[in-house]
Amino acid sequence: MEFTLLIVIIVLALIFDYINGFHDAANAIATVVATKVLSPFQAVVWAAFFNFLAYWVFGFGVADTVAKTANTMDINLVVILAGVIAAIIWNLFTWWQGIPSSSSHTLIGGFAGAAIAHAGFGVVSWYKEGADGGMPSGVLIIVAFIILAPLLGAIMSYLISIWLLNASKKSIYPKIFTASLMILTIWFVESQMIYFDQIEKPRFDSPFWSVAFESHNIKWFLVAFIVLSISTFCLIFSSLNLNQATAWLKKMQLLSSAAFSLGHGGNDSQKVMGIIAAAVAVYIHTSGVAQESLPTWLDVVLPNDEGAFKMPTWIPLACYSAIAAGTLSGGWKIVKTMGSKITKVTSFEGVAAETAGALTLYFTEHFKVPVSTTHTITGSIIGVGLTKRVSAVRWGMTVSLLWAWVLTIPISAILAAIIYYIFSIFI
């Protein structure tokens, strides 16, 4: 019975991941579709490819955080089953209504709600201080980023927009600023690098290729590439006429949407990995099966105080494949909301919003915070709208979205608790 429940949870978790893909496809493709840089079909193929490519870029930091949402020693598989089903129901409802709610918060709310119904509020990891002064974790931190993620996205996209606007002027000062930013970016990324003698398991014998393809380093290479690409454009922006600038911005939008799709795949797929890892840990605890006697495809070790965390390769591969397949299916109702109902988006706004969204996702993933890609890109779109005028943002629509964000975790939690109580009668 326990093993059957585990298989059902894994299958449902991957179905949720697929739904997450088409529910959140709009986050990555709305601006490129709205600006007609790509057709809808081209856009979803483009986004799906980079969703899957994220497998080679990101580690398991966010999966680690999600797996620790509730103490796996105090829950059972029915808790996780109820949480995943509640997340699927809320995701499908908001997709049907065209509401860009957070799939991430739906999953975490469902997991936490079912856990509370089973063992009380103490079973949930509400707040835990970070090791060695690092970023704290817990559900309260995730809740805080309901506000912080879109705020960071909005601030970053506003600043990028102001930077681009000033770069279009024939003045030496924007160029000095851009050159200084390029130097600062190179210095910062170099300081974040992991070199050959620090890599625990090098992928290659060659130090160069091992450093180049270390997943931690790839992420920072991408940050540098994004910032340096925009900087290069800013250095020549003032010498371009309107048609040339528009053509350049449309090409850059391909880069920015690809960067955001990478962040979307890396951030959201890890949440499902965390749920599957937690389910395996609960199965080991409740079934009494020894870790050593498990088949290799279930050889999962949850994070502990030493930071150990491992999972078989099929889990991340399946999760990244599922979210990419979901993105290919599209989510056209939400595309309309994100691409036109918040503010009018041009290629200029698209580049600024997607770049800001991508950088926000990369940095939050670095700190193992499972933020919402939906909230992040919505905030970024609002930020570019504010550079025109406050009234350029359709605040009525924005307030409606904010209500959906705030209600997602409690509604998912209540729904999961109800499903848990019903299941407990029969299972």
Q: What is the pLDDT of residue 329?
A: 76
Rounded to an integer, what distance in angstroms lies between the CA atom of residue 196 and that of residue 209?
9
Q: Taking the complete model, does pTM exceed 0.95, yes or no?
A: no
Q: What is the pLDDT of residue 105?
A: 84
Per-residue tokens: 286: 């409740």
Q: What is the pLDDT of residue 178?
A: 96
Q: What is the pLDDT of residue 80?
A: 94
Triad 65, 266, 298: Cα angle to 5°: 60
Per-residue tokens: 322: 């599922």
Phi, psi torsion values for 171, nearest 5 degrees: -140, 150
Triad 317, 300, 306: Cα angle to 5°: 115
Rounded to an integer, what distance in angstroms lies between the CA atom of residue 259 and that of residue 357?
9
- Residue 408: which H helix or E strand, with range? helix 395-426
Spell out, as residue ranges, where the chain has pLDDT lower than 50: 305, 334, 337-343
Q: Give per-residue burial for 307-340: e unless 16+ CB within 10 Å, then b.
A: eebebeeebbebbbbbbbbbbbebbbbbbebbbe
Rounded to an integer, what distance in angstroms lies between the CA atom of residue 347 and that of residue 247?
9
Q: What is the pLDDT of residue 342?
A: 45
Q: What is the pLDDT of residue 337?
A: 47
Q: What is the pLDDT of residue 266?
A: 84
CA-based R_g, the chain, Å: 22
